[in-house]
Structure 1
Amino acid sequence: MLASSARAADNAASSSAPSSFGYGVLATIEDYFANWFVRSDAAKASQPDWPSPLITVTPLLVEQVRYDQYWDTQSPNGVATDNFSGGKGLELIPEGHTELSIGMPPFLKRTYPRNTNGFGDLPYLVKLRLLSANEANGDYLVTAFMGFTVPTGSNVNGAGHATFTPTLAAGKGFGDFDVQSTVGVTFPSGGLDRLGMPLAWNTAFQYRVGKYFWPELETNYTWFSYGQNTGHNQLFLTPGIVIGRIPINDRFGVTLGTGDEIAVTRYRSMNRRWIASARIPF
């Protein structure tokens, strides 16, 4: 009788084990998402409080939805191009030192040649914050990036190959003034003779005026190696302004920005670009 009761208890325990395990996994997943904003708020509180520049990818971990619009008003061959989205999209902080950005493939509209409008490649970006301190503790940070593009675009609008862009970024604040800078090299998975391995060095200088206004000047430099533009380099200067974060409620806000990217070197991929940026940080 005792043996029979023991077997029944063992059977009941073994049958409930998978259920208990499954419940534990579901509870862990639920807890992860329930505490998402607790983690992301803690991550943002431990770093400087600057806005993302117009072009330079900020070393900050940010959580926002972003849409950019570019108007290339002139190019060396006389073609004007409108870029819808600029490859921006959803930026999330899944963990206290990490950001994941999932971009939208940009839609490119050209005045010439005909029938070349279409979507570009799908971009992703992963950030790993290495060092950080908020305004009360030094006002700086250092972050490593890895950017990817998936060759979803057409032959005209996409690279035709996946690309990988390891990048090192850093920023330092001095009261109302801050500097944010990135250096990265793009490696294509193929087509090196055409795409090359461009090195990009972008730096943004920002100054806070009042509560919401951040006039800025960016330098956007590219040096080309290996590809069809080997040996060339180009530099753009981008004066602009970022306005925000203007609160909507306790969680959501809005940030707006605009700027004018102007070529200052003889070699250039375009002459001028107007930029508009809209973000909803949360």
Structure 2
Amino acid sequence: MKPAVLLILLCSLFPSTVLAQSNFFHAWEDRVRATSAAQPAWPVPVVGSPSTIVQLARTDFLRQYTSTHTLTWNYDNGKGVNLIPFARTEFDINLPPYIQHNTPKAADGAGDFSVIAKYRPFAANVEQGNYSTLVQVTFSVPTGSYKNGTAVSTITPTGVLGKGFGNFDVQSALGVVLPTSSVPQIGRTIQWNTTAQYKVGKYFWPEVEANASYYHGGSTNDGKSQVFMTPGLMISKIKFRKDPKDRLGLVLGTGMQIATSSFHTYNHGLVLTGRIVF
């Protein structure tokens, strides 16, 4: 008798569990749609940080020629999954990249793991003003092997602004990399990235980026600056289904980082990026 009662109880609980899970995912999807509808529909730039919040899975591939004329490949470039767990909020989980140096002087290995918390305080879609603002904090953990990452954890607060004018938009991000220890040896780095995009047709977004790093302190690069101009193209987004409520789609992009400063650790950096929006 007892097994029969237990079976009845389990069967009665099963539909409620399934319903709760269904409601959870429906609420999540509704939140993502509402959050996305309240901001511009610009694609995430090839390199720089966006001023909007997004939900997607992303991977990048970088090919760089170093100052010693060796070819380095960076697989994934520390990208991963971006989620929207709350309204106007994004949380990113970035997996360690794998770096291939193609020289016996440096060992191949994994880079650092990082997470990013983002909040979008003010934004409006194209009908309401076409702008977006965002603040974010990146926390990086030194998981790299064979000196393929930083020696200590870092915290990087960043502010991002974006404004659109019809099919044209500009987004600019300013942040500072703060080591949690060994500051005299590592120093602090100011990062400033600005992106200009223009929509052509249904899918194409040609862009140009300025990616700048300014080094303060540290035992190696104190007082130096590194600047790249990055022409690129984003293709966004190719939807998998015709349902207007379905967000699932593919975003592709590429760019070339060209050094414009006398000091640079690499040049002619080819960037390939792919994202699945969901």
Q: Deviations over 1:54-86 (max 9, x none)?
A: 1111111101111100000x2112222100001
Task: Map 1:96-135 to 2 at 5 A.
Answer: 96-114=87-105, 116-135=107-126
1:230 pairs, out of 207, 218, 222, with 222
In the alignment, the residues of structure 2 paired with residue 97 and residue 126 of structure 1 have an alpha-carbon distance, to the nearest angstrom, of: 11
In the alignment, the residues of structure 2 paired with residue 141 and residue 42 of structure 1 have an alpha-carbon distance, to the nearest angstrom, of: 15
1:85 pairs, out of 73, 76, 90, with 76
Equivalent residue number for residue 39 of structure 2? 47
What is the DSSP-based 3-state SS (H/G/I as helix, E as strand, rest coil) of the residue aligned with 2:263?
coil
Deviation at 1:191, TM superposition (A): 2.4
CA 1:197/1:115 → structure 2, altered by over 3 Å: closer, same or farther?
A: closer
Q: Do 2:207 and 2:234's aligned partners in 1 also have CA atoms closer than 8 Å?
A: yes
Which runs of 5 or more residues in structure 2 are unaligned?
1-15
Task: Map 1:16-165 to 2 at 5 A.
Answer: 31-72=23-64, 74-114=65-105, 116-165=107-156
Equivalent residue number for residue 240 of structure 1? 232
Q: What is the RMSD of the two structures over their aligned residues, measured on CA atoms?
A: 1.8
Q: Where does structure 1 differ by over 6 angstroms across 4 or more consecutive aligned residues?
A: 26-30
Q: Deviations over 1:91-114 (max 9, x none)?
A: 110111100111110100001235
Percent of pairs identical after alignment? 39
Which runs of 5 or more residues in structure 1 are unaligned?
1-23
In the alignment, the residues of structure 2 paired with residue 131 and residue 168 of structure 1 have an alpha-carbon distance, to the nearest angstrom, of: 12
Aligned residues: 258
2:269 pairs, out of 249, 258, 273, with 273
TM-score of the superposition, structure 2-length normalised?
A: 0.89
Deviation at 1:30, TM superposition (A): 6.9
> Which deviates more from structure 2 when the two are superposed, residues 33-42 or residues 211-220?
33-42
In the alignment, the residues of structure 2 paired with residue 208 and residue 70 of structure 1 have an alpha-carbon distance, to the nearest angstrom, of: 25
Q: Do 1:68 and 1:84's aligned partners in 2 also have CA atoms closer than 8 Å?
A: yes
Q: Do 1:154 and 1:160's aligned partners in 2 also have CA atoms closer than 8 Å?
A: no
Report the residue type matching 2:269 in the other structure: R
1:198 pairs, out of 189, 195, 201, with 189
Deviation at 1:155, TM superposition (A): 4.2
Deviation at 1:34, TM superposition (A): 3.5
Equivalent residue number for residue 14 of structure 1? none
Deviation at 1:151, TM superposition (A): 1.0
